[in-house]
Copies of this chain bind each other. A is one copy, B any other.
Amino acid sequence: MSIADRVAWIAVDWGTSNLRIWAMDAGNDLLAERSSDQGMGGLDPSQFEGVLLGLIEEFLLRDRVTPVICCGMVGAKQGWVEADYVAVPNAPPNGDAATRAKSDDLRIDVWILPGMKQVAQPDVMRGEETQVAGFLRDQPEFDGVLVMPGTHSKWAHISAGEIVSFQTFMTGEMYALLARQSVLKHSVAVTGWDDAAFETAIGEAISRPESVAAKLFGLRAASLVSEQSNEAARARLSGLLIGLELAATRPYWLGQNLAIVGAPEVGAVYAKALALQGLQAQVIDAQPMTRAGLIAAYETMKGTQ
């Protein structure tokens, strides 16, 4: 029996810069995984089907229609098809809410999950709601705050199976712009770390958030007029920006039940920053959560088909 014979459906996390595909069997066990840098940011609406087929060809059978369930920026206005936002407070959208994407190949039936929006304090997410769905599949009784660090980190208040409210920070994108494209690029190392510099910066940013704006240029100046290493500058830049995020999210984490869902490396950095505030948070790898959220969506779609 080939792998294609065992595939029941395909789960897809299609973000701005990357694309990740999981071939699933009828028991929702993972058969195979593929990834690519063909994120939606670089694609024209007409290109999505071709990119997808290029990655999943070996999982398809000629005489079978294979369901494909996608989450992420693929459902944005500039994506394959727009999957309209669901407003909070609400449970993360399940399969019922998916939008069908037009495809020419008869072997696939493609569905895209909506993102979520918040109107009062304008905010949006696409993809993270599926991580939340996956997390709630494992911990349905969770009441507290999920931190999802990344390019745009999200803080979501979860209660009774719903996302009550959320807030987005451009921390990851700001870090990348400042470290790679600003005058700081001359002073910030690409790798390396200095725990003490990170801890000091976290403390400074939380106690005096307004001072972060001044301290950023100080990273450049310190490498010119004092002995600051570029590795220390890297940790310090990270600490200043994450510290500013923690200063703003204090109402989210103070006395709350916290869990971090993210890529393991950045998740550990956030856990360390929160630990400095005396908070212990579980750190959970984001990818399996996204997959679990897509499984939850597939299960709710099966019931309606």
Contact = CB atoms under 8 A, between A and B. Distances in A.
Interface string A208-237: 011111101110111011101000000000
Contacts of A177: 177-178, 181-182
B248 A210 contact: yes
Interface string A189-215: 000000000000000000001111110
Q: How large is the interface on A (under 10, 10 to 19, 20 to 34, 35 or more residues)?
A: 35 or more
Nearest to A223: B122
Interface string A113-136: 000011101111000000000000
Nearest to A219: B122
A182 B173 contact: yes
B119 A225 contact: yes
Interface stretch (A20-28, A164-172, A254-262): A164-172
A226 B122 contact: yes
A53 interface: no
Contacts of A216: 169-170, 174
Contacts of A220: 124
B214 A167 contact: yes
A152 interface: yes
A244 interface: yes
B183 A181 contact: no
Contact of A171 (B119, B213, B218, B224): B213
B123 A218 contact: yes
A222 B119 CA distance: 8
A142 interface: no
Contacts of A123: 217-218, 221, 225
Contacts of A121: 218
14 contacts: A118-B225, A121-B218, A122-B226, A123-B221, A123-B225, A124-B224, A168-B214, A168-B217, A169-B213, A170-B213, A173-B182, A177-B177, A177-B182, A210-B250
